[in-house]
Protein backbone atom coordinates (compact mmCIF):
# COMPACT_ATOMS: atom_id res chain seq x y z
CA UNK A 1 0.00 0.00 0.00
CA UNK A 2 2.79 2.46 0.78
CA UNK A 3 4.16 2.13 -2.74
CA UNK A 4 0.88 3.38 -4.17
CA UNK A 5 0.97 6.53 -2.08
CA UNK A 6 4.58 7.15 -3.09
CA UNK A 7 3.99 6.51 -6.80
CA UNK A 8 1.01 8.81 -7.20
CA UNK A 9 2.92 12.01 -6.40
CA UNK A 10 5.83 10.85 -8.56
CA UNK A 11 3.52 10.21 -11.50
CA UNK A 12 1.94 13.66 -11.04
CA UNK A 13 5.32 15.39 -10.82
CA UNK A 14 6.67 13.45 -13.80
CA UNK A 15 3.60 14.47 -15.81
CA UNK A 16 4.27 18.13 -15.01
CA UNK A 17 7.97 18.17 -15.84
CA UNK A 18 8.48 19.54 -19.31
CA UNK A 19 4.80 20.38 -19.64
CA UNK A 20 4.66 24.03 -20.72
CA UNK A 21 0.97 24.25 -19.88
CA UNK A 22 1.50 23.38 -16.19
CA UNK A 23 0.50 26.21 -13.89
CA UNK A 24 0.54 26.86 -10.19
CA UNK A 25 -2.54 28.08 -8.38
CA UNK A 26 -2.83 31.81 -8.95
CA UNK A 27 -0.90 31.91 -12.23
CA UNK A 28 -2.30 34.35 -14.78
CA UNK A 29 -1.94 33.04 -18.32
CA UNK A 30 -2.28 35.42 -21.27
CA UNK A 31 -5.86 35.82 -22.53
CA UNK A 32 -6.07 37.42 -25.98
CA UNK A 33 -9.69 38.45 -25.31
CA UNK A 34 -8.86 40.64 -22.30
CA UNK A 35 -5.12 41.26 -22.07
CA UNK A 36 -3.00 43.92 -23.70
CA UNK A 37 -0.66 42.05 -26.05
CA UNK A 38 1.97 44.80 -25.76
CA UNK A 39 2.53 43.91 -22.07
CA UNK A 40 5.63 41.71 -22.00
CA UNK A 41 6.65 39.23 -19.35
CA UNK A 42 10.43 38.96 -18.97
CA UNK A 43 10.44 35.28 -17.99
CA UNK A 44 7.11 33.47 -18.27
CA UNK A 45 8.48 30.45 -16.37
CA UNK A 46 9.84 32.43 -13.41
CA UNK A 47 7.11 34.72 -12.05
CA UNK A 48 7.30 34.84 -8.25
CA UNK A 49 4.66 35.84 -5.72
CA UNK A 50 5.14 39.38 -4.38
CA UNK A 51 5.85 38.08 -0.88
CA UNK A 52 8.33 35.33 -1.75
CA UNK A 53 11.89 35.91 -0.61
CA UNK A 54 14.84 33.80 -1.48
CA UNK A 55 18.56 34.38 -1.17
CA UNK A 56 20.09 37.41 -2.89
CA UNK A 57 16.70 38.89 -3.78
CA UNK A 58 14.92 41.94 -2.52
CA UNK A 59 11.18 41.94 -2.15
CA UNK A 60 9.10 43.78 -4.70
CA UNK A 61 6.86 46.68 -3.81
CA UNK A 62 5.58 50.13 -4.59
CA UNK A 63 7.59 53.36 -4.62
CA UNK A 64 6.86 55.17 -1.38
CA UNK A 65 5.58 51.97 0.24
CA UNK A 66 1.96 51.10 1.02
CA UNK A 67 1.06 54.57 2.32
CA UNK A 68 1.82 56.16 -1.06
CA UNK A 69 -0.17 53.47 -2.87
CA UNK A 70 -3.14 54.02 -0.53
CA UNK A 71 -2.96 57.79 -1.01
CA UNK A 72 -2.93 57.40 -4.80
CA UNK A 73 -5.92 55.06 -4.79
CA UNK A 74 -7.95 57.16 -2.33
CA UNK A 75 -7.26 60.41 -4.20
CA UNK A 76 -8.67 58.90 -7.40
CA UNK A 77 -11.62 56.94 -6.01
CA UNK A 78 -15.04 58.63 -6.16
CA UNK A 79 -17.12 57.21 -3.31
CA UNK A 80 -20.52 56.13 -4.62
CA UNK A 81 -22.37 55.77 -1.31
CA UNK A 82 -24.52 52.65 -1.33
CA UNK A 83 -25.63 50.57 1.63
CA UNK A 84 -25.79 47.48 -0.61
CA UNK A 85 -22.18 47.61 -1.78
CA UNK A 86 -20.29 45.67 0.88
CA UNK A 87 -17.54 43.11 0.48
CA UNK A 88 -14.11 42.51 -0.97
CA UNK A 89 -12.95 43.49 -4.44
CA UNK A 90 -9.60 41.97 -5.49
CA UNK A 91 -7.45 42.83 -8.49
CA UNK A 92 -4.66 40.34 -9.28
CA UNK A 93 -1.99 41.15 -11.86
CA UNK A 94 1.63 40.73 -12.91
CA UNK A 95 4.39 43.31 -12.55
CA UNK A 96 7.13 42.64 -15.08
CA UNK A 97 10.88 43.15 -14.68
CA UNK A 98 10.53 46.76 -15.91
CA UNK A 99 7.91 47.67 -13.25
CA UNK A 100 5.00 47.63 -15.73
CA UNK A 101 1.73 45.93 -14.81
CA UNK A 102 -0.65 43.82 -16.87
CA UNK A 103 -2.89 40.72 -17.08
CA UNK A 104 -5.43 42.10 -14.63
CA UNK A 105 -7.98 39.71 -13.10
CA UNK A 106 -10.72 40.56 -10.62
CA UNK A 107 -12.67 38.70 -7.98
CA UNK A 108 -15.66 39.96 -6.03
CA UNK A 109 -17.18 38.57 -2.84
CA UNK A 110 -19.32 39.61 0.09
CA UNK A 111 -18.17 39.55 3.69
CA UNK A 112 -19.26 35.89 3.95
CA UNK A 113 -16.77 35.12 1.13
CA UNK A 114 -19.60 34.27 -1.28
CA UNK A 115 -19.59 35.52 -4.89
CA UNK A 116 -20.97 39.05 -5.13
CA UNK A 117 -21.20 41.47 -8.04
CA UNK A 118 -20.29 45.07 -7.22
CA UNK A 119 -21.89 47.95 -9.05
CA UNK A 120 -19.76 48.71 -12.15
CA UNK A 121 -19.27 52.25 -10.75
CA UNK A 122 -17.11 50.55 -8.13
CA UNK A 123 -15.61 47.52 -9.91
CA UNK A 124 -14.68 49.27 -13.15
CA UNK A 125 -13.36 52.32 -11.32
CA UNK A 126 -11.13 50.28 -8.99
CA UNK A 127 -9.81 48.17 -11.87
CA UNK A 128 -8.89 51.29 -13.85
CA UNK A 129 -7.25 52.88 -10.80
CA UNK A 130 -5.08 49.79 -10.26
CA UNK A 131 -4.17 49.71 -13.96
CA UNK A 132 -3.04 53.34 -13.62
CA UNK A 133 -0.66 52.76 -10.69
CA UNK A 134 2.82 53.36 -12.09
CA UNK A 135 5.14 53.09 -9.10
CA UNK A 136 5.79 49.34 -9.06
CA UNK A 137 9.29 48.19 -8.16
CA UNK A 138 10.28 44.86 -9.74
CA UNK A 139 11.96 42.06 -7.81
CA UNK A 140 15.73 42.40 -7.89
CA UNK A 141 18.37 39.76 -7.45
CA UNK A 142 21.58 38.44 -8.87
CA UNK A 143 22.12 41.59 -10.95
CA UNK A 144 18.77 41.48 -12.73
CA UNK A 145 15.07 42.22 -12.26
CA UNK A 146 12.29 39.62 -12.11
CA UNK A 147 8.54 39.52 -12.78
CA UNK A 148 6.14 39.01 -9.87
CA UNK A 149 2.46 38.48 -9.10
CA UNK A 150 0.69 41.15 -7.07
CA UNK A 151 -2.82 41.64 -5.75
CA UNK A 152 -4.75 44.42 -4.07
CA UNK A 153 -7.92 43.67 -2.13
CA UNK A 154 -10.28 46.50 -1.27
CA UNK A 155 -12.55 46.08 1.73
CA UNK A 156 -15.65 48.06 0.84
CA UNK A 157 -18.42 49.15 3.21
CA UNK A 158 -21.37 51.15 1.90
CA UNK A 159 -19.46 51.79 -1.32
CA UNK A 160 -16.45 53.27 0.50
CA UNK A 161 -12.97 51.77 0.72
CA UNK A 162 -12.22 51.12 4.39
CA UNK A 163 -9.03 49.09 3.93
CA UNK A 164 -6.58 48.13 1.21
CA UNK A 165 -4.84 44.76 1.58
CA UNK A 166 -2.17 43.40 1.68
Instruction: Render pLDDT for 10-33 as a digit per residue (tens, 0 to 9).
Output: 333 333 334 444 455 457 776 778
Element (H, E) at 15: helix 2-16
Question: Residue 119 — pLDDT band, cuts 50, 70, 90?
Answer: very high
Nearest CA to 133 among 114, 146, 116, 152?
152
Residue 14 CB-density burial (10 A; 0-12 exposed, 13-18 middle, 19+ buried): exposed
Amino acid sequence: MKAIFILIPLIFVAGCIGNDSYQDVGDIPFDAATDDDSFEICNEKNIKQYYSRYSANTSAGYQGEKRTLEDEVMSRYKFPHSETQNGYFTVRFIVNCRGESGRFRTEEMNFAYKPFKFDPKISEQLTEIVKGLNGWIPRKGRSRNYDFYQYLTFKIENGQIVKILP
